[in-house]
Structure 1
Amino acid sequence: MSKHERWSALLELLAAEGRLDVEEAATTLEVSAATIRRDLDELAEQQMLVRTRGGAIAHGVSYELPLRYKSSRHASEKQRIAAAAADLVADGDVVGLNGGTTTTEVARALALRASAPGSGGGAGAGGGPGPGGGPVLTVVTNALNIAGELTVRPQIKLVVTGGVARPQTYELVGPLTMGVLNEVVLDVVILGVDGLDPQLGVMAHQEDEASISRLFAERSHRVIVVTDSSKMGKRAFARICGLDRIDVVVTDSAISAEAAGRLTDAGIKVITV
């Protein structure tokens, strides 16, 4: 197991339990206790955990894994979800994308489709690039990593909000972000979320990110939520919006029949992959 894999595994355990014991972690990862101690010391130097006697604890009550360590979780499910969500976008649409691992996969799926020869797929698509060979899609995002991947795609017109960057998720937040979003109109927004509760709706760990995602939803004609089934029934700190604002949820086939039924009863189309 490489150092990066160990660190990802340790942060996964910390996110699940809120604390780590050196000996228990060493047994779980099948490495020496000395290796775990070195890993925890290095992670503490990066302010990704707090070292304690004999282990480590998470920062704060609601622990949030940095994006680069979340990308390996449910990777195949996220790619299938992303492909299905991209198919719901029509050529010529103005698409909003917030930050997150699943929306990053959506951006990649949209880029591949836009660059494919004879591209013209998507629900209600007219086919091919715009007039004069212009962009197939317009993407509005507050995620720096998504912007970095799409800026080299001439088939996609990219609009990046301003704002203050959050290092954990690469999302831009704050008044500057809101100022740009208040000036645009979106055909569809595809939102990644940290939790989906049948009573409270969809949520994020951070209130500033939740407020931007809420504004994305308000500025869009259609709202699509992309999330793997592990987020179903989960709550996070900050509410984005209620289920009444959501049109479609794209998730994996591990979603329970009860959870899918609740979403359907709320008037949401559920797509499982």
Structure 2
Amino acid sequence: MSRDARWNALLELLAAHGRVEVEEAATTLEVSAATIRRDLDQLAEQQMLTRTRGGAVAHGVSYELPLRYKTARHASEKQRIGRAVADLVPAGGVVGLTGGTTVTEVARGLSVRTDIGGDSAAGSSAPPALTVVTNALNIANELVIRPQIKMVVTGGVARPQSYELTGPLASGVLQEITLDVAVLGVNAIDVREGAYVHHEGEAAVNRLLAERAQRVIVAADSSKIGRRAFARVCELRRIDVLVTDDAIDDEAAAGLREAGVTVIAV
């Protein structure tokens, strides 16, 4: 197992349990205790955790994995969801994208759409271009080199955990535009209360994206469903479509559909 894979696994254990023990982690990951100690020391140097005697604990009460460590979680499901959501975005439209690993896969799906051309000028025979509005720096970085996509980035203060821009500068831009579709990445979906994220600043920007859009699509793997996080983004009535993976619980899917959400499982 590579170092990056071990670090990702250790942070997964930390996110799930709040603490990790050296001997247990060594057994789980099938490496030596010395290797785990070294990994924990290096993660502590990056302020990703707090070392304790015999292991480590998470910082704070609520633990949020930074985006760069979440890429491997449910990777195949997120890729399928990303492609499916990208196919729902109309060519020539304006789409708003939040941050997150699943929405990053949506952006990658949009970047390879063959029906999105690079010249929408009058009289051009090329397919219409697409306008993407995002507050996510990593998504903007991936799409800005695509000539067929007009890239609009909000202002704001960058969060290192998610690469998302938040605050009044981001809100100020979004209040001046309209969107055909908003694609929201969330940390949790409660089948009665709606969609949630960990950070209140991200929730505010995501909520505004939803309010400025004619249609709202939530892209989330099934592990997010039936949960709550700290800050609510929107009620279920604001969500038109949920695209998730086929491991979604039947009862949860039925509850979402009863609330008026179209559920697409891929």
Given the alignment, which residue of 178, 194, 200 partners 1:207?
Answer: 200
User: C-alpha distance in 1, partners of 2:246/2:120?
Assistant: 35
Alignment of 1:149-168 (within 5 A): 149-168=142-161
Alignment of 1:1-273 (within 5 A): 1-113=1-113, 116=114, 119=115, 130-131=120-121, 132=124, 133=126, 136-273=129-266
Letter in 2 for 1:225: V
CA contact (8 A) 2:118 2:148 kept: no
User: C-alpha distance in 2, partners of 1:185/1:235?
Assistant: 29
CA displacement at 1:263 relative to structure 2: 0.5
**Equivalent pairs: percent with the same residue?**
69
Match of 1:124 in 2: none
Letter in 1 for 2:212: R
Letter in 2 for 1:167: P
CA displacement at 1:130 relative to structure 2: 2.2
Q: Secondary structure at the match of 2:64?
A: coil
User: C-alpha distance in 1, partners of 2:194/2:62?
Assistant: 18
Aligned-pair Cα RMSD in Å: 1.3
Q: TM-score normalised to the size of structure 1?
A: 0.94
Structure 2's unaligned 5+ residue stretches are none
User: C-alpha distance in 1, partners of 2:134/2:128?
Assistant: 16
Letter in 2 for 1:163: G
CA contact (8 A) 1:135 1:156 kept: no
* Deviation per residue, 1:128-171 (Å, 9 max, x gap): 95234586100000000000000000100000001111111100
User: C-alpha distance in 1, partners of 2:118/2:72?
Assistant: 33
Letter in 1 for 2:23: E
CA contact (8 A) 1:134 1:155 kept: no
CA displacement at 1:198 relative to structure 2: 1.3
CA contact (8 A) 1:135 1:154 kept: no
Q: TM-score normalised to the size of structure 2?
A: 0.96
Letter in 1 for 2:247: A
Question: Would the alpha carbon gap of residues 231 and 159 (structure 1) be closer, same or farther in structure 2, given more than 3 Å must change?
Answer: same
CA displacement at 1:109 relative to structure 2: 0.3
Letter in 2 for 1:159: V
CA contact (8 A) 2:164 2:202 kept: yes
CA contact (8 A) 1:135 1:157 kept: no
Letter in 2 for 1:268: V
CA displacement at 1:256 relative to structure 2: 1.0
Letter in 2 for 1:149: E
Structure 1's unaligned 5+ residue stretches are 121-126
Q: Secondary structure at the match of 2:88?
A: coil
Aligned residues: 263
* Deviation per residue, 1:163-201 (Å, 9 max, x gap): 111111100111111111111100000000000001221
Question: Would the alpha carbon gap of residues 81 and 98 (structure 1) be closer, same or farther in structure 2, given more than 3 Å must change?
Answer: same
CA contact (8 A) 2:144 2:151 kept: yes
Letter in 2 for 1:151: V
User: C-alpha distance in 1, partners of 2:148/2:127?
Assistant: 7
Letter in 1 for 2:230: F
